[in-house]
Structure 1
């Protein structure tokens, strides 16, 4: 492309120089020749006036008297009645002569000749000047064409490198602009594509991290149920544990569905009527064996017969995260308390441990922030799930720790 731009620019310049250069040469040549004829004519008129003046004054017309009247290396022939022609100066060669004749009524005539050598020299010098200007114009055109080609091809090369980087996995936008509207538009599109791809990859990585974390808790609970089944010889216990295990499998399915839904639209909560008592009871039953094994207790208190507008799977997942965190990082008894405040239902989870350190504070909900060398995803994912249902998850007290899930309350009929 660079070579084509240079060649096309040079072609245009050469055509312009050829058209205007030839015209200029023709005009300049005619101007020089016309000026030479005017000089010779003026010389003939001046010499004729001298000859007529001498004849009118009765003075003799002789070569000696007229010799000094011929200047510029010209040749003159004076013809007067009754006299032989008088030749003044050196006669030029027969080829290349400029000649002008001035005649009078009394038979007097003056012919002045000049060699075309001087005229040809002037024309040659004019042609050299025109040629030099043309060469300078061509040189300037070459430099301009190279500069313009670089100005256009360098951004195209840079855009090609950007596209190659984008295809190789580097999604950082470069935010480079080149002062050419069309190229800047392409750069805008590439930067926007890089940002979209980066957001998509970030969402995919986040989905993978959230999936691994959210599926871990139900799988852990299901594993505990299966262990209970393997060590129990009581058919009723096996039946009960199997029923709970099936419930947890359904919860796993709900978690997967919720992950897929959130990956498409994080604010797409189903917003159905949820029996808060049933969700809390389910979580206590799922986690009681783990707490029993750890020599700890999990209890429930507060107001009952509450119904919230939320997604059952999301509420269960948030509670499971809080209960698991209390088991892993807390101490003593874990209490789940439900209450109503205004138009919201509040589910609080607390334990008797040391709680959240002051330096963590509200940062405990940030991703990758953890005070106990864990993944730091649990509370962040739980808060996202709560917000997707129009609620919120807050740390209302650091020591002892009290986490509160706020949900919209179902309107009474």
Structure 2
């Protein structure tokens, strides 16, 4: 911004100088030439007054001393030089002046002024005054040099003022930028300081008001997260303990499966609450470990949980794992929640059979959830929070939550195909390398296992 302000100011000064200096330079030239012609005319008139009408009869002519750089000469009607200095024969200015007019002529590198000498209404001679054009040209160059020096001084003053003004304008904006960087780094208590510029102060006040409202909103959200954590975890823990106690005391074969299923459901609900609260809390450090689980085990649990629900609707659920390493692990809680959202979305908004397929992509794993429906919504709106499509009702939170969970574990969730509807989840994997069986010191075969490899 500083350079831009300086450039604008310098451009304005240059345009002003250009518009003023050129006419002024022409005016200086014209004025100096006019002044020299006036000086020559005054000298010629002063000499013409002193000419005696009887000079042709031999009376001496007393010519006044010429000015600096000037020549004065008296010519008779025959165009001969009678007194003073000048060309021996009268030139065009002298001939024109014999008609009784004052002549101004530029010829032969000289400025010439001829004044007629009259007696009894007759022209009896001509006084010629001349000066070299080079002398006037030197004066013009000196005037132009002074004008150029004034223009350079004006430009220097303009640059100095522009730099000062650029500093005055840019410094508050730079301070506001540093303040915004501090806020972006997490310092929500920082506030922009006032400056001497009203417009920038208005922006700073608006920014401070926005930051205050944002801080209050974040505080309310943190309080809600803390309250929800306390109010949800405690009842769930109590319910789990009650169900576990009931399982330990009740030997009824008919009631026991129901209690076991209810206990498994509360545990899943507890994991869901933990994952949602973790997502809503402050971002975790990147090096913080995330619990990983084998992909095959995760899909078995997903199939056991959702198979019966799809069967009740007369639909089929297939979970297939082809040629996946047994040591392939993914973030268990997050992937389980995302699969739950995608399968619930397929059950509510899709149709036909649903297939969950896992593909190994070396550094990542791709999980495709496909049903036989056709997605008519725009892909950009699918993951918008609060947007729900299809005939079935919904809150419009599921896909948005699933996308946030995928991003939280370094993955990505997107619509891979609209017909048939296919959602693809990409998540990073962790593999545990297992060595081939090798003989130990006693000649027996033993398994060797390396540490986990990200």
TM-score by length of 2: 0.43
Larger RCO (CA within 8 A; separation ≥ 6): 1
Per residue, is there more helix in 1 or in 2? 1
Flag the structure with higher strand content.
Answer: 2
